[in-house]
Amino acid sequence: MGFLLQIITPKGIYFDKEVESLTVKLSSGYRTILKGHTPLIGSLAYAPMHLVMGGKTEEFALHGGALNVTKEKVSLVCNAIERKSEIDLARAKKAKERAEKRLQDKDPDIDVKRAQLALQRALIRVELASK
């Protein structure tokens, strides 16, 4: 028996099931959440996320957001999330190259923060899909 995990994106509810554990990266570092965890609120980093459900581990690319742990459930409100199986490695590598090029060119018209976030997303996707 585990706890209810609800993942919400701008598109709506992405995931709403009972899980045995959840490992996410917060701004303060990685945390593993188990049933009965102390209430917690945190800022989610752009990083891989792992959950265990039915004894099987599932991996996701998590692209920022917030975590709220209560007695009743764990909620993730995130900018975007994708399962490892949904990631196209070749596309992720191309996105990584594009973002790196934008940052190296130092064009004054480039939105640097946006390019940095694109690079973070691509790096997470490449890391997961390469496993």
Task: Give the Cα separation of 128 and 87 in Å (integer).
Answer: 8
Is the per-residue pLDDT at 107 higher than 80?
Answer: no
User: Where are the CATH 2.60.15.10 domain residues in the chain?
Assistant: 3-84
Q: What is the pLDDT of residue 129?
A: 87
Confidence of residue 108 (pLDDT cuts 50, 70, 90): confident
SS3 track for 1-61: CCEEEEEEECCEEEEEEEECEEEEEECCEEEEEECCCCCEEEEEEEEEEEEEECCEEEEEE
Residue 58: the pLDDT is 95
- Scanning the chain, the segments in alpha helix (DSSP H) are 89-105, 112-130
pLDDT of residue 42: 95
Which residues of 54-94 form beta strands (DSSP E)? 56-69, 73-78, 81-83
The chain-wide mean pLDDT, for the chain, equals 92
Q: Is the pLDDT of residue 70 over 90?
A: yes
d(CA 97, CA 93): 6
**Per residue in 19-68, pLDDT tens?**
999 999 998 999 999 999 999 999 999 999 999 999 999 999 999 999 99
| Residue carrying the six token digits 């891989």 | 48
Q: What does the alpha-carbon distance between residue 7 and residue 28 come to, in Å, rounded to a whole number?
A: 20
CATH 1.20.5.440 positions along the chain are: 88-130
Which position has the token pair 């992405």?
14
Fold topology of 3-84: ATP Synthase; domain 1 (2.60.15)
The number of residues in the chain equals 131
What top-level class would CATH report for the domain 88-130? mainly alpha
